[in-house]
């Protein structure tokens, strides 16, 4: 047990004092497996873990301080007791955001968030010291961790915000306090949590609501009637439309069917597949132009971007041309992926579709819609994987689990040709590559 005086000092520590320690030790860790020397360890809790139990280990591994919220785990002056570790982390991130001079660009949407974030990051980095959300650290924990990577000389921070319930984006905005914002689109993602498409629109629009209430600036897609209607009377906006370009097309004549944008100032040949990536690129062009990035730099940045991490990746093997899009899936992105794949030239096309998650009571209906769509397309084979797809009506080959699929692949070699692999993250369909 701590001496009462020492307990009072720790318990009364303000966020300002904690931030002062952070400036001396500007590395944060929430996992003892990734302790950086002299970092600050935040002992977070979850349904199945208690980070307080690992605070002493964090100190032994080299952390300068451990932030805990259970007194029994205090072990000396390197331990700081707070009321709630997660809340303290969020408040620290908000304090740091206001301490630094970087401009914050908030980004959300149902599809394309991460690709759009990376494109904007590549473009702005041509002229400004820019940081962006790493990976998909876009929730109530990831946003604070992203904000805490802002350095004194950072000029722009692109903060991705994800949500699957109403009020989540609103809460993330109170932490990040964005100066600018962009919503990629509204789609059938996380229907279970949002309660339907109208809930998705309301939830994602919380970013624009926050920006409007605080008289901040908005970037938007003028081809989207929902965004156009919501922002029609708001003066602080800058939008783009497909009419702003001469043309955009999928270049089917080259080795790969990549998106090409043709503006009045430049022709941008991307390494991105699918017409759905046009709007992602257009947003990066728009934001780059707004912040006075030369068009030649915008062009070079977008053309150099290569998707990774199972997001619309092209894998060209000796016998197979693979479109790997297994990072996530919802009805809109699934439909777009199928249409793109169907439009590719040539034959010998095989499709692997994995379950879409978080669709609630609409799950079977939406999976059946995808099956019906695929049935009318020009595919040699369609393999369905997961409990939801297993319940649909079709002549396609179905596997209730990945283990059933893997057993099939071990004993049946696929013919050479084009493959589409698309499914939600929990399905981990990239494992199919191990059997080719």
Q: Are residues 14 and 110 in the same domain?
A: no
Same domain, 143 and 213: yes
**80 and 157 Cβ atoms separated by less than 8 Å:** no
Same domain, residue pair 250 and 321? no
Residue 94, domain member (yes or no): no
Show which of 282, 304, 326 is a domain's final residue: 304
According to the model, what pLDDT value does residue 242 have? 63
Q: Which of 264, 283, 304 is the last residue of a domain?
A: 304
Confidence (pTM): 0.85
pLDDT for 330 equals 87
What whole-number distance in Å separates Cα of residue 208 and Cα of residue 184? 12
Sheet with 65-68, edge to edge strand ranges = 28-29, 40-42, 65-68, 79-81
Domain range for 81 = 4-86
Query: What local confidence, expressed as pLDDT, does residue 56 receive?
Result: 96
* Same domain membership, residue 379 and residue 258: no
The per-residue pLDDT for range 291-337, each reduced to its tens digit, is: 999 999 999 999 999 988 777 888 888 889 899 988 888 898 899 89
Gap between the Cα atoms of 314 and 382, Å rounded? 19
Quick one: 226 and 124 in the same domain?
A: yes
425 Cβ neighbours under 8 A, 6+ residues apart: 326, 327, 328, 357
Q: Residue 103: which residues within 8 A CB-CB, separation 6 or more?
A: 155, 156, 157, 179, 180
> How many domains in the chain?
3
Statement to judge: residues 44 and 158 lie in one domain: no
For residue 93, being part of any structural domain is answered with: no
* 365 contacts: CB under 8 Å, gap ≥ 6: none
CB within 8 Å of 301: residues ≥ 6 apart: 119, 122, 123, 125, 126, 284, 288
Report the pLDDT value the prediction gives residue 4, as an integer from 0 to 100: 36
- Of 86, 121, 138, the residue that ends a domain is 86
Examine the domain organization and report whether 205 and 185 are in the same domain: yes
Verify that 58 and 200 share a domain, yes or no.
Answer: no
What is the signed CA dihedral for 249, 253, 256, 257, rounded to 10 degrees?
A: 30
User: Do 149 and 279 fall within a single domain?
Assistant: yes
Query: pLDDT tens digits for the chain (436 residues)?
Result: 333 333 334 444 789 999 999 999 999 999 999 999 999 999 999 888 999 999 999 999 999 999 999 999 998 899 999 999 999 999 999 999 999 999 999 999 988 899 999 999 999 999 999 999 998 899 999 999 999 999 999 999 999 999 888 999 999 999 999 999 999 988 777 777 777 888 888 999 999 999 999 999 999 988 888 898 889 899 999 888 764 544 444 444 444 578 888 877 888 989 888 777 888 998 999 999 999 999 999 999 999 999 887 778 888 888 898 999 888 888 988 998 999 899 888 778 999 999 999 888 889 999 999 999 999 999 999 999 999 999 999 999 999 999 999 999 999 989 889 999 999 989 999 999 998 8
Give the bridge partners for 251, in sequence order. Answer: 258
If asked whether residues 183 and 290 sit together in one domain, one would say yes
Look up the CATH number of the domain holding residue 324: 3.90.190.20
Phi-psi region of 96 (alpha: psi -120 to 50; beta: other; left: phi over 0): alpha
> Has residue 249 been placed in a domain?
yes
Please give the pLDDT value at position 319: 87
Going 47 to 48 to 53 to 58, the CA torsion angle's sign is negative
Q: For residue 54, what is the domain's CATH number? A: 3.40.1390.10
Residues 57 and 105 in one domain: no
Say whether both 357 and 219 belong to one domain.
no
Greatest CA separation for the chain: 77
């Amino acid at each position: 047990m701590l001496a009462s005086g020492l307990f009072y000092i720790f318990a009364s520590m303000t966020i300002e004092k904690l931030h002062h320690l952070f400036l001396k030790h500007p590395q944060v860790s929430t996992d003892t497996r990734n302790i950086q020397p002299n970092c600050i360890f935040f002992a977070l809790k979850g349904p199945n873990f208690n980070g307080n139990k690992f605070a002493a280990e964090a100190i032994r591994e080299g952390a300068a301080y451990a932030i805990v919220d259970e007194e029994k785990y205090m072990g000396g002056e390197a331990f700081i007791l707070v009321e709630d570790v997660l809340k303290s982390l969020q408040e620290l991130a908000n304090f740091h955001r206001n301490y630094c001079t970087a401009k914050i660009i908030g980004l959300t949407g149902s599809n394309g968030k991460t690709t759009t974030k990376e494109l904007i990051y590549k473009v702005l980095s041509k002229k400004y010291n820019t940081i962006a959300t790493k990976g998909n650290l876009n929730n109530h924990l990831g946003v604070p961790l992203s904000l805490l990577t802002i350095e004194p000389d950072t000029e722009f921070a692109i903060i991705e915000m994800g949500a699957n319930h109403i009020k989540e984006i609103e809460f993330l905005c109170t932490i990040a306090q964005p100066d600018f914002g962009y919503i990629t689109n509204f789609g059938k993602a996380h229907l279970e949590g949002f309660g339907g498409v109208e809930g998705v629109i309301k939830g994602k629009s919380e970013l624009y609501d926050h920006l409007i209430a605080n008289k901040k600036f908005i970037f938007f897609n003028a081809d989207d009637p929902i965004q156009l209607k919501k922002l029609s009377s708001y003066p602080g906006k800058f939008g783009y439309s497909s009419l702003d370009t001469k043309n955009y097309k999928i270049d089917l004549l080259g080795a790969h069917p990549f998106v090409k944008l043709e503006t009045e100032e430049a022709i941008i040949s991307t390494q991105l597949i699918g017409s759905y990536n046009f709007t992602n690129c257009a947003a990066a062009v728009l934001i780059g132009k707004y912040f006075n990035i030369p068009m030649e730099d915008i062009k070079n940045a977008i053309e150099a971007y290569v998707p990774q991490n199972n997001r619309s990746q092209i894998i060209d093997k000796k016998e197979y041309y693979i479109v790997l899009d297994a990072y996530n899936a919802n009805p809109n992105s699934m439909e777009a992926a199928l249409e793109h794949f169907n439009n590719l030239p040539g034959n010998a096309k095989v499709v692997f579709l994995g379950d879409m998650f978080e669709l609630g009571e609409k799950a079977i209906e939406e999976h059946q819609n995808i099956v019906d769509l695929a049935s009318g397309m020009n595919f040699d084979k369609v393999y369905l994987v997961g409990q939801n797809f297993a319940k649909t009506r079709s002549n396609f080959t179905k596997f209730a689990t990945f283990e059933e699929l893997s057993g099939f692949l071990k004993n049946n070699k696929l013919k050479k040709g084009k493959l589409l692999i698309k499914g939600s993250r929990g399905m981990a369909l990239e494992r199919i590559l191990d059997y080719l």
